[in-house]
Amino acid sequence: MSADHFPSARVHRVALVNAVATLLLLFIGGLVTSKGAGLAVPDWPTTFGYNMFLYPWSKMIGGIFYEHSHRLVASAVGLLTLTLAFWLWLREQRKWLRWLGAAALAMVVLQGVIGGLRVILLEETLAIIHACLAQAFFALTVSLVLFTSQEWTREPQKIELSEAARVRRLCVLTTAMIYLQGFFGAVVRYTGTGIQLHLLVAALVALHVALLGARIMRLRLNEVKLLRPAVILMGLLILQLALGLGSYIGKFTQLGAFLPLFAIVALRTTHVVAGALMLVTSLALTLRSYRHLTFPHSLLRQGLPPEQFSV
């Protein structure tokens, strides 16, 4: 792939701002539910009958402040995604990336509609779908950051590795498991049930992250593009387990009564955000493993399947 494909630093910057704004949106969304402010504004797309953008700041008090801020930041993310999709469509040469930008736009519109319907129909299932789609959309925005970066337009530095297939598979499995864990977390969050399943998957996620981290470190690669996300993922896992424990204590045990409300809200909200960060870190590692790891050519020439060389 030649450097000509680099869509321009400006498109990359929009993708970056979009991903950061989406993370902020996830944080505010987490805050909205942790504070029980999800239904503070009963109508949609209007806010108490006002055009959403003209709702007076002086009336943004209590739960309305959180819910209305969530809608405003979501609109900003929608606008950024529209700009990015438009720009990619006009300037990007990689066809698949143009379509990925369009898919992000479709997804953000769908997410907005589901969020709105959740308010109108008072459906918990829609809240769970909204939470899962939010994580998937954040993952897509981070992928767009990677794909529009110079890193993705330069020729990748290939690392020949007999166990390339296994490492990639472990990456995919870990990412999928973290995403599934987000779904079970949303079920716990909105229904108060299913904590046993969430704990079981937490143990599986922890095992897979540890295995993946250990395997990447054992390879002693000079390539920090794989090592760095692996180390960050392990750090996030430790943080996430601690935040999960705090959320559990705050939500399900008598000890929660001794914790100040702001601490419980902070624990539950950061647990949602750290989950999203784990997902995108694992995804970045997965994408990079596919880009950089390759089977040794000498072994391939012997005509044996790569699996036979895995350690």
Say if CB 26 and CB 272 are below 8 A apart.
yes
Bridge partners of 159, per DSSP, are: 293
**Which of 81, 71, 125 lies closest to 106 in space, CA to CA?**
81
Tell me, residue by residue from 198 to 227, as one string, x for binding to ligand HEM by CB under 6 A and - for no binding: xx--x--xx---------------------
Write down the least CB distance from residue 276 to ligand HEM, Å. Answer: 7
45 upstream amide cis, omega within 30 of 0: yes
Nearer Cβ to ligand HEM, position 115 or 244?
244
Write down the least CB distance from residue 175 to ligand HEM, Å. Answer: 11
272 binds ligand HEM (CB under 6 A): yes
**Which of 97, 78, 75 lies closest to 11 in space, CA to CA?**
97
Residues 241-270 that bind ligand HEM (CB under 6 A): 241, 244-245, 247-248, 251, 268
Distances (CA, A) of 264 to 68, 245, 252, 258, 270: 22, 11, 11, 10, 10
> Residue 294: left (phi > 0), alpha (psi -120 to 50), or beta?
beta
Piece of 8-16, 45-53, 107-115, 272-280 that binds ligand HEM (CB under 6 A): 272-280
148 binds ligand HEM (CB under 6 A): no
Write down the least CB distance from residue 240 to ligand HEM, Å. Answer: 5
Residues 156-195 that bind ligand HEM (CB under 6 A): 178, 181-182, 185-186, 188-189
Write down the least CB distance from residue 1 to ligand HEM, Å. Answer: 33
Burial 208-239 (b: 16+ CB within 10 A, else e): bbeebbebbeebebebebbbebbebbbebbee
Phi/psi of residue 171, each to 5°? Answer: -60, -50
Alpha helices (H) in 124-260, listed in sequence order: 124-147, 164-191, 195-218, 224-252
97 binds ligand HEM (CB under 6 A): no
Nearer Cβ to ligand HEM, position 161 or 280?
280
Binding site for ligand HEM (CB under 6 A): 34, 131, 178, 181-182, 185-186, 188-189, 198-199, 202, 205-206, 237, 240-241, 244-245, 247-248, 251, 268, 271-272, 275, 278
